[in-house]
Structure 1
Amino acid sequence: MARKNLIEVSVDNQATETSSPMTAARPIAGFVPPAVRNTPVGGITKTLGNITQKFERAQDIEKQLAEGQTIIEIDPALVDSSFVSDRIGIDAVKLAQLGEQIKDHGQQVPILVRPHPDARGRYQVAYGHRRLAAVKVLGIKVRAVVRELSDDQLVVSQGQENNARTNLSYIERALFAGRLEDRSFSRETIMAALGIDKAALSKMVSVVRQVPIELIEAIGAAPEIGRRRWMELADLLPKASVKNVLASLSEPETKALSSDRRFQAVVDALTTKPEKTPKSTVAFKSWAPDDKSVRVSLKANGKTTTIAIGAVNGPLFAAYITDRLDDLYADWQSKQEN
């Protein structure tokens, strides 16, 4: 028996004649191509009078969809980010490289958007944030698939696309999971979005609950750092001063490091014990008269010096010195002044 798709984000296993070559070769997560229609969709009634540019754009999009085009072009200024972020910033170098690829070869893979639930005439990205950013820099329209998506369907499409491309680090995926949980998405939806089981999800959420978000953002995506090392960092933090760690990360030389090296710098700072300053211990040679009836030794330990007097006449000699301490100190002090 086939399992029921609770999230209702799927791709038909059978390719249809209306599928474009791109969608047949690489199905778009959460998208089912519309059937070809031989007659156009009814246009916006002309009795409304003067049609604004916004309605003209909407009419043009409807026309493209009615003609069976699964991919349309949209002004990127009309497209907003997803309501839940799945990245810790976008690498400027990689964004520039992506922009060059699109400039030379065109946008090969469309983004997925939905009509914005709170702003008529605008759209909201399910996936393709980097492509959208690159297209905005180039000043061209973005190729997109428009689909009605619920919040659950949007985040599942967003997560599944990133999983397919494997371009999110562990901590970015964990942050995505934590943010979805903060928005009261069910564990089932979050697991579907990330393609993980309940145990893996629990560990992800545990990490982002133990490591302060400001510390995660200061470290960055850390693409080479996996689950085990992030959990080790989380275990180190209860005994650490996060304020001091953040201060060290704000230093110019540390900020210049790669994200992975910043992570290692934090771990090193939390695991390296400061070297103890050795206590200065100076032992003076013992003194004794020729008859060996008295033996005197001195040992200094920091600001404390111990004098030990022993041998046969040791106690008597010690008593003699004690009785004359005032005179001895006055004599020593007079020599210091000179």
Structure 2
Amino acid sequence: MARKNLLEISAPNTGRTDAPSAKDSRPIAGFLPQARGSGPVGGITRTLGNITEKMERASDLERQLAEGQTVVELEPELIDGSFVADRLEIDVVELGQLVDQIREHGQQVPILVRPHPESRGRFQVAYGHRRLAAAKELGIKVRAVVRQLTDDQLVVSQGQENSARTNLSYIERALFALRLEQRDFGRDIIMAALGVDKAALSKMLIVTRQVPMALISAIGPAPEIGRRRWLELGERLEGVAPEPIIAELSADNYRKMSSDERFQQALALATGKPVSAKSTAQPSSITGIPVTFKRTPARATFVFDSKAAPGFDQFVEERLRSLFNEFQQRKET
């Protein structure tokens, strides 16, 4: 009888639908425990999970900042310029245009900075000096990527960004190379920063040694003047004292000329020839008259707007003879 009862108790109850007892719900090796109810223990677990998730997000943000993957907003007053200047000057007109663009559309491209190696809590620009200046002008924070950079990495990033955007003129790039050399950067770093080979770098450094810094400053960036013309000026200066040229270009009447025109004048003074008629000139106009003109030291060109005043060009052409005669008479008197 006992054996029969034992067998009956041990037999499985196929119709049982009740939840297992607490004793039966203990985890067995190799199996996941059953889901727990929403009691106090479950709430504590969820809270701990949220804290862990927040800590992981904070750690991930710190990692992204360290790797330069996150754009942050910084006060412009906390950011210093690069330790190697790459510009002779920031064009006021271009800066004004950039200010207008950022005011209307926001700063689309962040600048690159690193934590300042000497001033805790401050930053140093690798590239984006004009965007930083525009943000200061607008009184807003500047969007930036913060990255740990060595001096070598900073100047390479600075030079490559400027090369990609073609913002710097030839002489500014040459001066950048000279300043890097003066700071004992290797030729490989300088070539990488400027994206040039050994021969091109050598010619840049030749120009900076042939043309005095005072004359380069008097001329300015000369954005339309390339390597060949700067080398030509350097060669002409070998037999000419540069001081009179510097003094003349520093006069007030020359400061009104464009930088490209000042270069043309410097080359003319160095060679003793008239300034080329091809020298660059910015078009100007007289208010209320549909004519623009370009003036260089050697030539002036008038352009008539035929749509605004049809026939005005022919009218002036017919009277050029009488105007010239009047001009000659005034010269004589």
TM-score (norm 1): 0.62
> 1:202-228, CA deviations, whole angstroms, 9 ceiling, x for partnerless residues?
000111011111110110000000000
Matched AA of 1:84: V
Per the alignment, in what secondary structure is the counterpart of residue 41 of structure 1? helix
CA distance, structure 2, for counterparts of residue 65 and residue 118 of structure 1: 20
Which residue of structure 2 lines up, in the alignment, with residue 189 of structure 1?
189
C-alpha separation in 2, matches of 1:269 and 1:82: 35
Shift of 1:41: 3.3
Distance 2:184 2:87 in 1: 20
Aligned to 1:199: 199
Matched residue pairs, number? 220
Secondary structure of the residue aligned to 1:137 is: helix
Give the drift of 1:63: 10
Where 2:205 maps in the other structure, the secondary structure is: helix
Q: Is the 8 A contact 1:174 1:205 kept in 2?
A: yes
The question of whether the paired residues in 1 share the 8 Å contact of 2:65 and 2:147 is answered with no
Partners in 2 of 1:256 and 1:126 — Cα distance? 32
Deviation at 1:85, TM superposition (A): 0.4
Shift of 1:253: 1.3
Counterparts of residues 171-190 of structure 1 (less than 5 Å): 171-190=171-190
Aligned residue type for 1:213: M
Match of 1:39 among 38, 41, 57: 57
* Greater helix proportion: 2
Deviates more, 1:264-273 or 1:209-218: 264-273
Q: Decide whether aligned partners of structure 1 residues 98 and 159 sit closer, same or farther in structure 2, where only a CA change above 3 A counts.
A: same
Amino acid at match of 1:41: S
In the other structure, the counterpart of 2:98 is: 98
Q: Following the alignment from structure 1 to structure 2, what is the Cα–Cα distance between the partners of residues 65 and 208?
A: 39
CA distance in 2, matches of 1:239, 1:212: 13
Q: How far apart, in 2, do the equivalents of 1:202 and 1:221 lie?
A: 20
Q: Distance in 2 between matches of 1:76 and 1:226?
A: 34
| Equivalent-residue separation in structure 1 for 2:242 and 2:184 (angstroms) | 28
Could you tell me the TM-score, scaled by structure 2's length?
0.63
Alpha-carbon distance in 1 for matches of 2:201, 2:209: 12
Partner in structure 2 of residue 223 of structure 1: 223
8 Å Cα contact 1:64-1:72 kept in structure 2: no
What whole-Å deviation, never above 9, does each CA across 1:236-256 have from its counterpart, x for those lacking one? 112212110111011111111
2:154: which partner in 1?
154
- Give yes or no for the alignment of 1:209 onto 2:227: no
Q: Distance in 1 between matches of 2:104 and 2:64?
A: 25
What secondary structure, in the 3-state scheme, does the structure 1 residue paired with 2:59 have? coil
Identity %: 65
1:157-168 to 2 correspondences below 5 Å: 157-168=157-168
Could you tell me which residue of structure 2 aligns to residue 141 of structure 1?
141
Report the residue type matching 2:59 in the other structure: V
Deviation of 1:65 after TM superposition, in Å, equals 3.9
In structure 1, the residue corresponding to 2:117 is in which secondary structure?
coil
Q: 2:273 & 2:144 partners in 1: Cα distance? A: 54
Is the partner of 1:148 in helix, strand or coil? Answer: coil
Shift in Å at residue 38 of structure 1? 3.6
Structure 1 residues 250-290: Cα deviation after superposition (integer angstroms, max 9, x where no partner): 1111111000000000111121269xxxxxxxxxxxxxxxx
Alignment CA distance shift 1:113-1:91 (3 Å): same
| Shift in Å, 1:124 | 0.2
| Alignment gaps of 5+ in structure 2 | 1-53, 275-333
- Cα deviation code 1:78-134 (max 9, x no counterpart): 000000000011001110110000000000000000000000000000000000001
Give the 3 Å change call, closer, same or farther, for CA 69–242 of structure 1 in structure 2.
closer
Cα distance between partner residues in 2 of 1:273 and 1:145:
51
Shift in CA distance, 206/146, structure 1 to aligned 2, threshold 3 Å: same
Aligned-partner residue type, residue 199 of structure 1: A
Q: Structure 1: any 5+ residue segments left out of the alignment?
A: 1-35, 43-60, 275-338
Letter in 2 for 1:149: L
Contact 2:156-2:189 within 8 A present in 1 as well? yes
Tell me whether 1:77 sits opposite 2:77 in the alignment: yes
Kindly provide the amino acid, as one letter, of the partner of residue 238 in structure 2.
Answer: P
Against the structure 1 CA distance between its residues 63 and 149, is the aligned structure 2 distance closer, same or farther, given a 3 Å change threshold? closer
